[in-house]
Amino acid sequence: MDAVINFTSQSQGRDRIFRAAQYACALSIHLLRNKEKKDLVQKLKSLEANMSAGRKLLRLGNTINSIEAAKRTMQLSDRVLSLCLTVANINRSLYFVCDNVLWARSVGLIRDIDKERWSLNASRCYFFSIVMSLIRDVYAVSQLMVQKAGDKHFRQKMDQHLSESPEIAEPVIPQLDAFLFLLLESLKSHPAVALDTLKNICDLFIPLDRLGIYQSNAGVVGFCGLMSSLIGILTLAQPKLRIKP
């Protein structure tokens, strides 16, 4: 119970619970779209809208947090990590600015703005933030693979795995098998990197759909949003599963 209280007392914890509920509603609406349950669908749409509005309110201070995070990541000694994380945090702060403006318009504090344009700008900033986070994940995975490949015991394990594989005619397949084995073993030994990569891949589908770069459907967006939200809840509840820095 104490863990639940500590989790929900954090603004990030509340936001992720709201986000999971929002995308769960979106997925449910898509699954029920052809069913004769109009009243339930209408209630889910109302709940989704309320969750979205609640999240916008909770995120009012996140612009400052992202700017502070960008200042910290600029000081990292690893220049690749520093570049990826700093650009990601700057784009995240711009996304929150757009999000705050849209919230102000929704409550009537601002009227003379183009809602569609600001929403599009928010999606662009969100997209670039996720792309940079994914580049960071690829960089982290590549470092892990290099470390694994240089480990003597792991090389013996991989040789044993390849020797137990069935004979394959194409010479490129054993190399692919070795690469996949190395990749999976690297991710298995570092679940924080694996979870962050999966979370960012899921998140990427949301701006891709909104920007029209890769249009899927509301079901895919809802499922990906729900998955990334659950991973976010897990990593916040279990700090050892959170990627660092």
Domain parsing of the chain, residue ranges: 1-58+209-245, 66-136
Residues 6 and 41: their CA atoms lie apart, in Å, by 33
For 185, the token pair is 């073993």
How many CB atoms lie under 10 A from the CB of residue 60?
14
Does pLDDT of 3 surpass 60?
no
Counting Cβ atoms within 10 Å, is residue 173 exposed (0-12), middle (13-18) or buried (19+)? exposed
Q: What is the pLDDT of residue 162?
A: 67
The answer to which of 23-27, 86-90, 171-175 has the lowest mean pLDDT is 171-175
The model's pTM is: 0.88
The pLDDT tens digits of the residues spanning 110-150 come to 888 899 999 999 999 999 999 999 999 999 999 999 998 88
What is the dihedral sign for C-alpha 53, 54, 58, 62?
negative
Residue 170 pLDDT > 50, yes or no? no
pLDDT of amino acid 173:
59
What's the pLDDT at 125? 97
- What integer is the mean pLDDT of 214-240? 94
Q: What is the dihedral of CA 236, 241, 243, 245, to 10 degrees?
A: 80
11: pLDDT strictly greater than 80: no
pLDDT band at 6 (very low <50, low <70, confident <90, very high): low
* Joined tokens for residue 101: 């403006």
**Segment 37-71, tens digit of pLDDT:** 889 999 999 999 999 888 888 788 889 999 999 99
pLDDT at 171 over 50: no
Report the chain's terminal Cα–Cα distance, integer Å: 29
168 has a pLDDT exceeding 50? no
Helix (H) or strand (E) holding 56: helix 38-58
Cα–Cα distance measured from residue 158 to residue 242, given in angstroms and rounded to the nearest whole number: 28
Between 235 and 112, where is the model more confident? 235
Other CB atoms within 10 Å distance of the CB of residue 184: 11
Question: Which amino acid belongs to residue 123?
Answer: S
What's the rounded Cα separation, in Å, for the pair 231 and 219?
Answer: 18
Beta carbons of 93 and 66 less than 8 angstroms apart: yes
pLDDT band at residue 151, thresholds of 50, 70 and 90? confident
Per-residue pLDDT, 160? 76
Note whether 117 and 98 are within 8 A (CB). Answer: no
> In this structure, what token pair is assigned to residue 79?
């220049």
Higher pLDDT, 153 or 115: 115
Calculate the alpha carbon distances from 62 to 90, 94, 118 in Å. 12, 10, 17
The mean-pLDDT minimum among 4-13, 58-67, 122-131, 166-175 falls in 166-175
Structure tokens that stand for 64 in this block: 């400052």
**123 close to 210: Cβ distance less than 8 angstroms:** yes
